[in-house]
Amino acid sequence: MAELNTRANIKVPDEFYAELLTVHEGLSKAESDALNARLILLLANHIGDRQVLSEALQAAALKE
Amino acid sequence: MSKIFEIPLYPYQRSADQDAATPVRHPVVVVGAGPVGLALAIDLAMQDVPVVVLDENDKVSRGSRAICFAKRPLEILDRLGCGDPMVDKGVIWNLGKVYFDERQVFGFNLLPEQGHKRPAFINLQQYYLEQYLVERVRELQAEGKPIELRGGSKVLNVAQDDSGAELTIGTPEGPYQIKADWVVACDGAASPIRTLLGLDFTGRVFEDNFLIADVVMEAKFPTERWFWFDPPFNRGQSALLHKQPDNVWRIDFQLGWDIDREKELKPENIDKRLKAMLGEEISYELEWSSIYTFQCRRMERFCEGRVIFAGDSAHQVSPFGARGANSGLQDADNLAWKLKLIIDGKSPPTLLNSYNAERVHGAQENILNSSRSTDFITPKSDISRIFRDAVLDLSERYEATGPMVNSGRLSVPCTYDGSQLNGPDCDQMPERTRPGSPMVDAPVPAGWLLDQLGSAFHLMTIDADAPDTAGVDGVELKRLTLSSTDDADGYLRQRYLGDANAAVYLIRPDQHVAARWDHYDEAAVKAALLKAIGR
């Protein structure tokens, strides 16, 4: 049974973080919100596993 | 020429009950001659249960109202002898397109599965369904079946005790009383019977208004369901275009919450909307228009003593997904055979607990689906709209989010998992026909499988020995013998046998599976039949 991976898993994390900010550059708040929503949906679809997604939703809500 | 909904089809006539010294008692009184009430009454009368249908009007309903009929309700109507006119007249459609702003972002094909008599969906005005049902009532009357349809008869009061109910009926010639062993309230979302009994009807209100315009026009649009999110002609809202027979098109505009109803319903304002949507040059005739709001709610229990609720009186959903009339017909289908067994003294009245449990389950499923559609169509918060628009934007480019586009999840029949009437399952057989499931149609040597079943309990055997007639304590069990050698296209294997070499299915009168085995065992079948009739 898959579990949400909450350990560090991205190579060169500073690079990813910079890229994440770059796609938002020059966008209004509304445009950034829309981009974030699209990103979440694409990543969620990539993961696919319903249990992992539920765990991620709970983890992101900072709930125990 | 008058429209069918302008002609009195069952005008008030004086009944002998009005001149009786004491109130006449009837086994079943159905209140409401809409699709659900008429279907139930026809089902009962076909099985020789005397039934009186009361309605305060005398015509079929005005305007198209319910327009989408799914396969399972069509199969129920087949059993009642009304399927053919529906499908002959109805518009069959499979393709849907979804637009966001000016772009098409998603399309779907219902891709009807092969090997079924009936299509996945037809579109047909509700008044045609009601007309066919009234015609069927007349046919049954001509055959001497015990069914009465009393127009101009409004229920003014209902009282009940453990043994039955008494109704006061208002007519143009004054009120009278009748008694009933059972009353079935099929009197719509605003159910006067529910109100008279002071029963609850709770759920979620959606703060939104929708304008329906049914227009008659020669249009070049294909036979598809078109749905718009945030189109230029109805900014910030949604719209729907759907074809009905006779060149009638259903157009549905979401209006929002704070509106001036009278102003919106003025023909010149509807005209403005239609021209913005379809072009200045269109010519049309407005057949019907209406503004509706909706709620997703249900009664806590569908049975209250001797009064039973079916259809919109018991549960109400948003129109997205065609779950109103379709689920009401399934209520009637579920209830008729149970009432018959109780009236014939073959089942205890507690069998109705299964009607309540099974149809509450169906209503909950419909409310869940229709609430989800509504939340997608009319987002209730900024973040809900952001995600909705993100799904639509992505769907134009990627297949990934297409399945999340929710402009209505179209009605599919419900499986009564966990029902108290369900007997043993056989795990080698397909999941889709497990106990509680509606039977899945298939071609058989005599025609179509569901047409062989009628309204009795059946024992369907595939490559299995069993006696030709069985039954228990006066409940008949008919045999339907099938063989895998007649299954060239493999439908019986796919839908009923699975990995088993032989199959024995116990089938309820409403064509739901009660139990199944890989061989015939007399004691097991009898036990399952007793369980299925609530004993």
A18-45 per-position pLDDT tens digit: 999 999 999 999 999 999 999 999 999 9
Cut 0.90: pTM above it: yes
Neighbours of B299 (CB within 10 A): 23
Instruction: Work out the pLDDT band at A63, boundaries 50, 70, 90.
Output: confident
What is the side-by-side order of every strand in the sheet holding B121-123? B68-70, B121-123, B91-92
Residues of chain B contacting residue A41, judged by C-beta atoms under 8 Å apart: 387, 390-391, 394, 400-401, 404
pLDDT of residue B123: 95
Query: For position B29, what pLDDT does the model report?
Result: 98
Q: What is the pLDDT of residue B63?
A: 85
Give the pLDDT score at A1. 57
CATH superfamily ID and name for B4-89+120-201+297-367: FAD/NAD(P)-binding domain (3.50.50.60)
CATH class of B431-532: alpha beta
> pLDDT at position B412, please?
84
Q: Is residue A8 part of a domain?
A: no
d(C-alpha B288, C-alpha B274), whole Å: 14
Q: How far is the first Cα of chain B from the last one, in angstroms, to the nearest whole number?
A: 55
Taking the Cβ of residue A42 and every Cβ of chain B, the question of whether any pair is shorter than 8 Å is answered with: yes
Contact indicator for B358, B416 with CB cutoff of 8 Å:
yes
Interface residues of B toward A, Cβ cutoff 8 Å, are: 383, 386-387, 389-391, 393-394, 398, 400-401, 404
Confidence (pLDDT) at B77: 98
What distance in Å separates residue B361's CA from the closest CA in chain A? 24
Residue B386: which of A37, A42, A45 has the nearest Cβ?
A37
- CB-based contact B505:B513 (threshold 8 Å): yes
Residue of B nearest to A46 (CA): B400
Per-residue pLDDT, B469: 79
pLDDT digits (tens, 9 = 90+) for B422-432: 999 999 999 99
Q: Do A34 and B390 touch (CB under 8 A)?
A: yes
Q: How far apart are CA B473 and CA B475, in angstroms?
A: 6
Residue B129, both tokens: 């369904």
Q: Which residues of chain B have pLDDT under 70?
A: 1
B447 Cβ partners below 8 Å, 6+ apart? none
With a cut of 70, say whether residue A64 has pLDDT above it.
no
A22 occurs within a structural domain: no
Q: Looking at the 3D structure of chain A, how many domains does it have?
A: 1
Q: Which residue ranges make up each domain of chain B?
A: 4-89+120-201+297-367, 431-532
> Which residues constitute the domain of residue A40?
29-64
Question: Is A41 an 8 Å CB contact of chain B?
Answer: yes
**Is the complex ipTM more than 0.90?**
yes
Residue A37 lies in a domain: yes
